[in-house]
């Protein structure tokens, strides 16, 4: 495969840059990072979820953001924030539901923020793309170790 084709796979039209998308699965109770999966930045969040082969227990609760809207069809216990549009305004009950989902998701957002303290993940990655997943997993292991100790 040529270099241009490899670059094209990672080009995100939304961000106008070559990007890598990373999915992080966090345990709500221990706030530890269970699973990390990387994909080219062009891929949709739901497709990344399908490619990662993360299969949660059918009775477990999934707390996801609005990028994972299609996951609710395959997993019964999924909580996704309700989005509004110019045709559908978010009601007071919907806002209350979104607040509840956000309060439940705050632990995983803190874990992701803890990962971003490492400048390799928060700034532009200038090394080889092949090694990004390895480095991300190593940093996740360091974060899990620091939270336990």
Q: What is the mean pLDDT of residues 102-115?
A: 91
Q: Is the dihedral of CA 72, 78, 84, 90 positive or negative?
A: positive
Q: Which residue has the higher pLDDT, 4 or 70?
A: 70
Q: Which of 132, 130, 101, 102 is nearest to 36 (CA)?
A: 132
Helix (H) or strand (E) holding 47: helix 45-52
126: which residues sit within 8 A by CB, 6+ positions away?
Answer: none
Residues in the chain: 149
Largest Cα separation within the chain, whole Å, is 52
Summarised one tens digit per residue, pLDDT across range 33-58 is: 998 988 888 888 888 888 888 888 88
Q: What's phi and psi for 37, nearest 5 deg?
A: -135, 130
Helix or strand or coil: residue 18? Answer: strand
Positions of E strands within the chain: 11-12, 17-18, 20-26, 33-40, 62-63, 78-79
Q: Is the pLDDT of residue 15 over 70?
A: no
Helix (H) or strand (E) holding 46: helix 45-52
Mean pLDDT value across the chain: 86
107: which residues sit within 8 A by CB, 6+ positions away?
Answer: 26, 28, 31
């Amino acid at each position: 495969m040529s270099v241009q084709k490899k670059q094209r796979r990672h080009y995100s039209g939304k961000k106008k840059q070559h990007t890598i998308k990373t999915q992080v699965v966090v345990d709500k109770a221990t706030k530890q990072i269970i699973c990390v999966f990387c994909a080219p930045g062009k891929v949709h969040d739901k497709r990344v979820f399908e490619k990662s082969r993360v299969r949660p227990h059918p009775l477990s609760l999934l707390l996801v953001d609005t990028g994972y809207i299609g996951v609710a069809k395959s997993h019964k216990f999924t909580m996704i924030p309700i989005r509004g549009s110019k045709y559908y305004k978010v009601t007071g009950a919907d806002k209350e539901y979104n607040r509840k989902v956000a309060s439940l998701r705050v632990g995983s957002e803190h874990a992701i923020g803890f990962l971003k303290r490492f400048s390799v993940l928060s700034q532009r990655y200038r090394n080889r793309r092949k090694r990004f997943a390895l480095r991300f997993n190593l940093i996740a292991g360091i974060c899990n170790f620091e939270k336990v100790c």
